[in-house]
């Protein structure tokens, strides 16, 4: 006589017989997942059937494209510090996740992506919607696997979450065949606590910390550049202690923005291609360069053969692979930034570097007169992107989480937004993904409903994932959307102007009526082209309790300065 399979709710300390698809959902719940983003299809349909049954415990958000699901999960992860989850079917559903996965990999965002797959007996047969997603995703995931047996599902998901969130975070992918979803298993979920040969957090050496402190204590012109590793390590307080105790001028990469308030007197601004004049220029004059949780990206260093050659380099990082990868290090301190910076603070002497700090202030004055004042307080007729960001600062009191897309508006937002709270700058850094901001803002707002979330997007990037307006409408996500419309692919056009004799090849945009499109999704919207209307429009947007769409028509051919030409030295930063 056939034994009847019992499928019941979880019973404490008891092993139950359930299906693989239910095990997927129960495993996610066991990991504390309350929201996930995705798009259904044939190969993942059994899991969706279980999500329907468990909708009182886990909320599925139907995005309008799988790329949107991945970016929304990124936004959720970046503002919450939790693991973001995206789910898709096999074939095109899975491949549509790849851009978001690659973005998460280079920006160290913890993501778990679950994809359905054709039945195991069809693998390798070119079955309908079969794609080798494990092979495709291998270069852009921290770890991935394919599950063909239902009894392997809980362990695979537990391992996925452990790897995604531990050490230097990153995306993982679990591909589950359809027969594994339908099969049965004895379910008993255990969280993963370690993986053989995987050491996510290297032990911090006291000797290395002491060596770093010795260099810093003896320095006459020390300079800190911190990155997202400070935020991922929850080390904002420790960073502040180090900076203030040693009196060190400190700059940030775009992903490190907001770890220290913008108004802090030792915050000297952003480094990189469109960073501030002073920290770029003086990188090649400091005697000790302290890099914290950053990877010496080419957009930060410019020409490596001339980068900080005069300086002793101290590098704090959790990932040994980053040490000496781009810049030769004199002292490397491995470990979690929260622990290593606390140890450093103990070993540092009280100090101040007023004369050195004055050099930064003097160069800031030069940049203010040449660039900043014109961006924020323009006298010309057309609106600038900078004055829009300034007005958002005023109306939000500098407490908004800014989710920016990629392009000129991104650099302007990073340069001029007030970041008073950590995890306030959410953008695509390493991959530079146009279309990131709209879905990422959805995830950010759903993860932190108490925060004001403002998406800053260009007219080009907006149209790459414009369909996610439908997700905002259906889910009633009160995110604020600002389109800075210059009718160009602005960053590419700037390069064409400066380096290609103004040959604007395929960069001018003929745009639709964006406000009408937003209203088609029942999102209130307004279009502003005159300075006299801008303040009231931004105020109305910020005060709205619902989603709001604001299109601001800005100068068509404004450029973002300062700028380090590609491949040039950071000392060659241009103000015009």
Tokens encoding 448: 């932190």
- How far is CA 99 from each of CA 88, 129, 264, 328, rounded to the nearest angstrom? 14, 19, 36, 31
Smallest CA-to-CA distance from 444 within 395, 411, 400, 403 is with: 403
Which residue in the block uniquely carries the two structure tokens 């359930």?
A: 18
128 is catalytic: yes
Tokens encoding 535: 């303040």
Q: Which of 7, 45, 54, 129 is catalytic?
A: 129
Measured CA to CA, the distance from residue 445 to residue 478 in angstroms comes to 7
84: left (phi over 0), alpha (psi -120 to 50) or beta: beta
Tokens encoding 19: 């299906």
Smallest CA-to-CA distance from 67 within 39, 48, 107, 45 is with: 39
CB-based burial label for 516 (10 Å; 0-12, 13-18, 19+): exposed
Measured CA to CA, the distance from residue 116 to residue 180 in angstroms comes to 10
Q: Which of 10, 52, 55, 128 is catalytic?
A: 128
Measured CA to CA, the distance from residue 336 to residue 96 in angstroms comes to 33
452 is catalytic: no
What's the N-to-C CA distance of the chain in angstroms?
A: 84
Task: Answer positive or negative: Cα dihedral of 434, 439, 442, 447.
Answer: negative
* Cβ proximity of 279 and 257 under 8 Å: no
Q: How many CB atoms lie within 10 A of CB 9?
A: 8
Measured CA to CA, the distance from residue 243 to residue 246 in angstroms comes to 6
Tokens encoding 281: 């220029």
Instruction: Note the Cα 289 to chain centre separation in Å.
Output: 25
16 is catalytic: no
Measured CA to CA, the distance from residue 64 to residue 108 in angstroms comes to 25
Q: Which of 67, 142, 159, 178 is catalytic?
A: 178
66 is catalytic: yes
Q: What share of the chain is helix, strand, coil (3-state, %, to 5)?
A: 40, 20, 40
* Cβ proximity of 570 and 281 under 8 Å: yes
Smallest CA-to-CA distance from 255 within 224, 294, 223, 282 is with: 294
Which residues are registered as beta bridge partners of 288? 222, 312
Task: Sort strands 331-334 and 401-404 into parallel, antiparallel or unpaired.
Answer: unpaired
Q: Which of 223, 446, 491, 541 is catalytic?
A: 491
Q: Which of 31, 66, 359, 367 is catalytic?
A: 66
526 is catalytic: no
* Cβ proximity of 185 and 150 under 8 Å: yes
* Cβ proximity of 170 and 160 under 8 Å: no
CB-based burial label for 381 (10 Å; 0-12, 13-18, 19+): exposed
Query: Which active-site residues does the annotation give?
Result: 66, 128-129, 178, 491
């Amino acid at each position: 006589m056939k034994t009847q399979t019992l499928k019941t709710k979880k019973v404490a300390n008891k092993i139950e017989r359930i299906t693989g698809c239910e095990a997927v959902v129960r495993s996610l719940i066991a990991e504390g997942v309350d929201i996930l983003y995705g798009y259904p299809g044939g190969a993942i349909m059994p899991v969706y059937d279980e999500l329907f049954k468990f909708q009182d415990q886990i909320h599925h958000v139907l995005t309008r494209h799988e790329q949107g699901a991945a970016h929304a999960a990124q936004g959720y992860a970046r503002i919450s510090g939790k693991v973001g989850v995206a789910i898709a079917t096999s074939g095109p559903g899975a491949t549509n996740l790849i851009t978001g996965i690659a973005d998460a990999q280079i920006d160290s965002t913890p993501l778990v992506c679950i994809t359905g797959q054709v039945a195991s007996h069809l693998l390798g047969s070119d079955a309908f919607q079969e794609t080798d997603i494990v092979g495709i995703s291998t270069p852009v995931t921290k770890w991935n696997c394919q599950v063909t047996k239902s009894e392997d599902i809980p362990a695979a998901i537990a391992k996925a979450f452990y790897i995604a969130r531990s050490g230097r975070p990153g995306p993982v992918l679990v591909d589950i065949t359809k027969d594994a979803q339908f099969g049965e298993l004895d379910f008993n979920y255990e969280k993963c606590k370690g993986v053989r040969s995987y050491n996510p957090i290297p032990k911090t050496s006291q000797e290395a910390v002491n060596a770093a402190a010795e260099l810093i204590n003896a320095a006459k012109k020390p300079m800190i550049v911190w990155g997202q590793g400070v935020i991922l390590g929850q080390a904002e307080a420790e960073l502040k202690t180090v900076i203030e105790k040693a009196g060190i001028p400190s700059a940030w990469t775009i992903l490190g923005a907001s770890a220290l308030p913008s108004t802090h007197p030792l915050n000297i601004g952003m480094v990189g291609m469109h960073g501030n004049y002073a920290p770029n220029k003086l990188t090649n004059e400091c005697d000790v360069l302290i890099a914290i949780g950053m990877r010496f990206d080419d957009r930060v260093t410019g020409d490596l053969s001339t980068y900080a050659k005069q300086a002793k380099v101290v590098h704090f990082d959790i990932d040994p692979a980053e040490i000496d990868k781009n810049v030769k290090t004199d002292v490397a301190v491995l470990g979690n930034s929260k622990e290593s910076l606390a140890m450093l603070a103990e070993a540092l002497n009280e100090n101040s570097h007023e004369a050195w700090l004055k050099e930064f202030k003097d160069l800031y004055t030069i940049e203010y007169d040449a660039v900043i004042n014109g961006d924020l307080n323009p006298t010309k007729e057309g609106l600038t992107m900078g004055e829009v960001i300034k007005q958002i600062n005023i109306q939000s009191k500098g407490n908004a989480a800014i989710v920016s897309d990629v392009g000129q508006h991104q650099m302007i937002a990073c340069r001029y937004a007030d970041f008073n709270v950590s995890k306030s700058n959410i953008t695509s850094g390493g991959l530079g993904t146009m279309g990131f901001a709209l879905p990422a803002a959805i995830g950010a707002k759903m993860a932190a409903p108490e925060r004001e979330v403002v998406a800053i997007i260009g007219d080009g990037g907006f149209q790459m994932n414009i369909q996610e307006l439908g997700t905002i409408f259906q889910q009633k996500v009160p995110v604020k959307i600002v389109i800075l419309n210059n009718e160009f692919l602005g960053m590419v056009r700037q390069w064409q102007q400066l380096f290609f004799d103004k040959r604007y090849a395929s960069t001018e945009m003929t745009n639709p009526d964006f406000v009408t499109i937003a209203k088609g999704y029942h999102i209130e919207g307004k279009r502003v082209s005159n300075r006299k209307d801008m303040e009231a429009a931004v105020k109305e947007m910020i005060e709205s309790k619902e989603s709001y769409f604001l299109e601001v028509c800005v100068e068509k051919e404004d450029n973002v300065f300062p700028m380090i030409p590609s491949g040039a030295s950071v000392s060659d930063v241009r103000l015009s």
